[in-house]
């Protein structure tokens, strides 16, 4: 199976959606602040992300990131933990559209799907809100 990344059009759409800001902005001094690329929240190698159409390369599985952070969150355990808390990096089995993502641009938690971004209204970075799975009525996290 060939695993491909985001298309240039998707990358541009992610950068626009996320206000051009790196999702790890503010976590360490080396972050460029401005995003350069689209990050896979659930790594491509982790397989399918949803049985409801959210693909590995779908917009719901993407967030804007800078080159520096994109490398560091794979190698620095402390930053990796922050990335997991912010919804920037997910665990296998997570459904990206149901895990809140911290948006430095909106300064609040958001829900991103393949087709939309929803402001969740929670501005406390320390408290990631739970997203209700509207199909099952259960809390997704
Ligand atoms: Zn960064």
Cβ proximity of 47 and 92 under 8 Å: yes
Distance (angstroms) between ligand 1 centre and the Cα of 9 equals: 21
Q: How many CB atoms lie within 10 A of CB 65?
A: 29
| Percent of the chain predicted with pLDDT > 90 | 72
Distance (angstroms) between ligand 1 centre and the Cα of 26 equals: 8
Strands 37-40 and 62-65 come out as: antiparallel
Sheet holding 117-119, edge to edge: 101-103, 108-112, 117-119
pTM beyond 0.85, yes or no: yes
Distance (angstroms) between ligand 1 centre and the Cα of 67 equals: 7
Q: What is the pLDDT of residues 100-114, one digit of tens each?
A: 999 999 999 999 999
Contacts of residue 72, Cβ cutoff 8 Å, sequence gap at least 6 = 28, 30, 79
Distance (angstroms) between ligand 1 centre and the Cα of 24 equals: 5
Distance (angstroms) between ligand 1 centre and the Cα of 131 equals: 25
């Amino acid at each position: 199976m060939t695993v491909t990344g985001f298309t240039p059009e998707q990358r541009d759409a992610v950068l626009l959606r996320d206000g051009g800001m790196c999702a790890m902005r503010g976590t360490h001094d080396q972050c460029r602040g401005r995003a350069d690329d689209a990050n896979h929240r659930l790594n491509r190698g982790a397989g399918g992300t949803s049985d409801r159409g959210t693909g590995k390369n779908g917009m719901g599985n993407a967030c804007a990131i800078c080159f520096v952070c994109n490398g560091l969150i794979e190698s620095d355990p402390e930053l990796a933990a922050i990335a997991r808390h912010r919804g920037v990096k997910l665990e296998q089995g997570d459904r990206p559209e149901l895990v809140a993502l911290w948006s430095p641009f909106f300064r609040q938690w958001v829900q991103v799907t393949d087709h939309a971004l929803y402001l969740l209204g929670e501005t406390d970075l320390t408290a990631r809100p739970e997203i209700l799975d509207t199909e099952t009525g259960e809390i997704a996290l």
